């Protein structure tokens, strides 16, 4: 029956209505044709129609089945009930059989229709259940795939995920959070968030996270508590925390988000913490780089403005050339100096216009385009002289993109230089002539003084008066000291200055021989600075030195007494020179007491000191020491260190 109903369902599903009604008519006709084989038309007037009604109800459905039942009932009345060939019924008992036949057909058709509909409903339910099962299996597969994806994200996402319960204890932690702290995933559940993150504030207090001094202001703790108590979600909170760890030690910045969760009725908070320290530092570096770039850009713009102003204001022509040696830009001075605008010209054409020989092949522009820099090379441009500099222009990759040429007209300067060199040559010749003349003058003065010294010596030998001999000898020594200055002057290149230290050494050697009969008895020592003096100061100083040393030799060591004379010359203070003569002899009275006496030498010293605009100071050591010290101080003037 089930197979038949299913076949019927397939039949009904695949055949049109007219064909099903045709089958019903055929079933009714077949029922009557089957009775033609009976010997008596009235034999079994009802039962022979039942199989055909069953077949029609099973195969063609309710409508066609009812049609077959009606036709079979009419056929039974007309062909199988007395009187045959008429719809009249002779025996009333036949109405029971006819009614039973009709009822049987109706019941069978209804039953098959109910079975068909029940099978269709069952099939529809089965299909629906199958679809639901497939949908559930698909949903389960998607859930498993989503779970696998979430597990992969949980395991590999560069975000620390913490599931925190109401007691602020971590229940679950992601692999990244565990790797961040350098601990395993199994070690972290049950601990407080500060320990899991590695917060140094939490680790600094024995009670842990939430009890340190900085925990009350911790943005992560505040966000978790707010989410746990009020269910408020927080997104993208930035929190700087001191963190311990081998790689992450130091101040770290976390981007924190929190969400409320209630699995199995228990409150929990999901904490997502992303370490953005490198990003923040990179952002700060970018900000600083941007600031530096803006400053560099501003400086570049200022430099560009300055260069543009210099380019415009410079009085020398400036030519900017491209790689094809054509001039792409000039400053106003180029047109003003040359009388034509060379923009767009080839350098060779400009050289021909200006009269520069050699052509482009040997030009400084070509050298610059080949990478060579030239500074101030002279070139002849007709009757003018140019001092040209050139340099290559390069882009940021170092490639040569052009050249800058600056031809400066130095014709006037060149002529002035030639005139100056000619004048200097003439002056040099005149100076050499005058130098030879001055040397000859100094040489002749020295010779004349030598003659005077010899005459004084001869005169001293000729007279018999001791005082006269001494006076003439003193005068002879004074003349020799002046002659020695002129000897130093014509013996060097500079004719107006002498090195007074060298002169003093020579003078002291000469005086030790002339004034001391026994040189080993009186030693003369010197401590001199190499200072140059002009002739107008050297002569008075030489005479003063001669008088003071002579006075020490004559009067400081009587009766064969031995001792030492010390001479010093130095720059004592700003703008002053000091000449000192000191001995350890018997000493002498201060010069002021004999100003009008017979001491001619000391009077000469005082006169010469006033001539130098200086002063002579007499000093005596404290007893028991003996001796005398004279100190001359005078302005340095044009004196200078050698």
Predicted pLDDT at 66: 84
- Structure-model confidence comparison of residues 400 and 446, the more confident one: 400
Q: What is the mean pLDDT of the chain?
A: 77
Helical (H) or strand (E) element with 295? helix 277-313
Give dist(CA 490, CA 446) in Å, integer. Answer: 9
- Structure-model confidence comparison of residues 420 and 13, the more confident one: 420
- Structure-model confidence comparison of residues 149 and 581, the more confident one: 581
Predicted pLDDT at 5: 46
Instruction: Give the count of beta carbons closer than 10 Å to the beta carbon of residue 497.
Output: 19
Instruction: Give the count of beta carbons closer than 10 Å to the beta carbon of residue 445.
Output: 17
Helical (H) or strand (E) element with 331? none
Give CB contacts under 8 A, 24+ apart, made by 191-194.
192/168, 193/162, 193/164, 193/168, 193/220, 193/221, 193/224, 193/271, 194/218, 194/221
pLDDT exceeds 60 at position 565: yes
Predicted pLDDT at 514: 63
pLDDT digits (tens, 9 = 90+) for 347-380: 888 888 888 877 777 788 888 888 889 888 888 8
Predicted pLDDT at 54: 82
Dmax (CA) for the chain in angstroms is 225
Helical (H) or strand (E) element with 182? none
Predicted pLDDT at 568: 92
3-state class (DSSP) for residue 271: strand
Confidence of residue 441 (pLDDT cuts 50, 70, 90): low
Cα dihedral 232, 236, 237, 242, rounded to 10, equals: 130
Write out the two tokens for 401. 């993109």
Strand stretches in 168-296, DSSP E: 170-173, 234-243, 250-261, 268-275
Taking residues 513-522, what's their average pLDDT? 66
Predicted pLDDT at 452: 77
Which strands make up the sheet holding 400-409, listed edge to edge?
327-330, 319-321, 400-409, 384-394, 374-381
Report whether 532 contacts 525 (CB < 8 A): no
- Provide the sign of the torsion angle of the four alpha carbons 549, 553, 557, 561, taken in this order: positive
Q: Which residue has the tokens 């002053």?
A: 576
Predicted pLDDT at 516: 54
Report whether 189 contacts 167 (CB < 8 A): no
pTM comes to: 0.37
Write out the two tokens for 351. 């050289």
Closest CA to 239 of 271, 268, 265: 271
Report whether 591 contacts 606 (CB < 8 A): yes
Closest CA to 32 of 64, 63, 78, 90: 78
Report whether 373 contacts 362 (CB < 8 A): no
Confidence of residue 58 (pLDDT cuts 50, 70, 90): confident
pLDDT exceeds 50 at position 43: yes
pLDDT exceeds 80 at position 317: yes
- Structure-model confidence comparison of residues 488 and 164, the more confident one: 164
Q: What DSSP string runs through 359-411?
A: -GGG-HHHHHHTT--EEEEEEEETTEEEEEEEEEEE-TTS-EEEEEEEEEE-H
- Provide the sign of the torsion angle of the four alpha carbons 151, 156, 159, 163, taken in this order: positive
pLDDT exceeds 50 at position 319: yes
pLDDT digits (tens, 9 = 90+) for 390-405: 899 998 888 998 889 8
Q: Which residue has the tokens 């000291």?
A: 481
Taking residues 112-139, what's their average pLDDT? 87
Give CB contacts under 8 A, 24+ apart, made by 598-607.
600/474, 601/474, 601/547, 601/550, 601/551, 602/547, 602/551, 604/543, 604/544, 604/547, 605/544, 605/547, 605/548, 605/630, 605/632
3-state class (DSSP) for residue 594: helix
pLDDT exceeds 60 at position 583: yes
pLDDT exceeds 50 at position 246: no
pLDDT exceeds 60 at position 179: yes
pLDDT exceeds 80 at position 523: yes
Q: Show the domains of the chain with their CATH numbers.
A: 2-128 (no CATH), 157-275 (3.30.450.20), 315-409 (3.30.450.20), 413-486 (no CATH), 496-641 (3.30.565.10)
Helical (H) or strand (E) element with 526? strand 522-528
């Amino acid at each position: 029956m089930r197979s038949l109903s299913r076949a019927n369902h397939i039949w009904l599903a695949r055949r049109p209505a007219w064909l099903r009604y045709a089958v019903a008519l055929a079933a009714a006709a077949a029922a009557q044709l089957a009775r033609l084989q009976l010997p008596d038309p009235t034999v079994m007037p009802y039962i022979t129609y039942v199989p055909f009604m069953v077949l029609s109800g099973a195969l063609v459905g309710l409508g066609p089945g009812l049609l077959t039942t009606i036709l079979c009932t009419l056929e039974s009345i007309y062909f199988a009930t007395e009187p045959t060939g008429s719809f009249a019924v002779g025996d009333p008992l036949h109405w029971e059989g006819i009614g039973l036949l009709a009822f049987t057909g109706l019941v069978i058709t209804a039953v098959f229709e109910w079975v068909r509909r029940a099978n269709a409903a069952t099939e529809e339910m089965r299909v629906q259940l199958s679809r639901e099962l497939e949908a559930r299996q698909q949903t389960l597969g998607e859930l498993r795939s989503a779970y696998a994806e979430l597990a992969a994200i949980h395991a590999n996402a560069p975000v620390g995920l913490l599931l925190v319960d109401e007691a602020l204890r971590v229940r679950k932690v992601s692999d990244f959070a565990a790797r961040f702290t350098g601990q395993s995933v199994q070690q972290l559940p049950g601990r407080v968030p500060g320990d899991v993150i590695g917060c140094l504030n939490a680790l600094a207090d024995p009670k842990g996270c939430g009890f340190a001094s900085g925990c009350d202001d911790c943005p992560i703790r505040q966000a978790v508590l707010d989410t746990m108590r009020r269910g408020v979600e927080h997104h993208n909170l930035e929190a700087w925390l001191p963190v311990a760890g081998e790689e992450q030690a130091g101040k770290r910045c976390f981007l924190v988000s929190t969400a409320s969760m209630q699995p199995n009725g228990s409150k929990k908070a999901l904490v997502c913490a992303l370490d953005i320290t490198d990003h923040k530092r990179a952002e700060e570096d970018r900000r600083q780089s941007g600031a530096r770039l803006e400053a560099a850009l501003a400086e570049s713009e200022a430099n560009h403005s300055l260069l543009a102003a210099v380019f415009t204001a410079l009085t020398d022509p400036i030519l900017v050339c491209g790689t094809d040696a054509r001039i792409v830009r000039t400053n106003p001075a180029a047109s003003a100096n040359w009388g034509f605008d060379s923009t767009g010209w080839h350098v060779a054409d400009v050289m021909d216009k200006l009269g520069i020989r050699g052509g482009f092949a040997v030009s400084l522009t070509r050298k610059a385009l080949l990478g060579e820099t030239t500074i101030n090379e002279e070139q002849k441009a007709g009757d003018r002289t140019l001092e040209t500099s050139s340099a290559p222009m390069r882009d940021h990759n170092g490639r040569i993109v052009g050249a800058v040429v600056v031809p400066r007209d130095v014709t006037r300067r060149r002529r002035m230089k030639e005139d100056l060199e000619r004048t200097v040559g003439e002056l040099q010749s005149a100076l050499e002539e005058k130098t030879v003349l001055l040397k000859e003058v100094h040489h002749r003065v020295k010779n004349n003084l030598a003659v005077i010294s010899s005459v004084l010596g001869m005169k001293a030998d000729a007279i018999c008066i001791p005082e006269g001999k001494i006076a003439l000898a003193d005068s002879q020594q004074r003349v020799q000291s002046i002659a020695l200055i002129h000897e130093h002057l014509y013996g060097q290149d500079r004719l107006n200055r002498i090195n007074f230290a060298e002169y003093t050494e020579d003078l002291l050697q000469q005086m030790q021989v002339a004034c001391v009969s026994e040189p080993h008895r009186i030693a003369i020592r010197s401590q001199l600075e190499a200072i140059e003096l002009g002739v107008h100061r050297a002569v008075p100083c030489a005479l003063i030195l001669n008088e003071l040393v002579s006075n020490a030799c004559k009067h400081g060591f009587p009766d064969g007494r031995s001792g030492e004379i010390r001479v010093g010359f130095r720059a004592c203070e700003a703008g002053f020179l000091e000449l000192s003569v000191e001995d350890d002899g018997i000493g002498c009275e201060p010069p002021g007491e004999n100003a009008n006496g017979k001491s001619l030498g000391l009077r000469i010293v005082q006169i010469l000191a006033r001539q130098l605009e200086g002063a002579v100071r007499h000093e005596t050591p404290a007893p028991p020491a003996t001796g005398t010290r004279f100190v001359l101080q005078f302005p340095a003037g044009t004196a200078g260190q050698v």
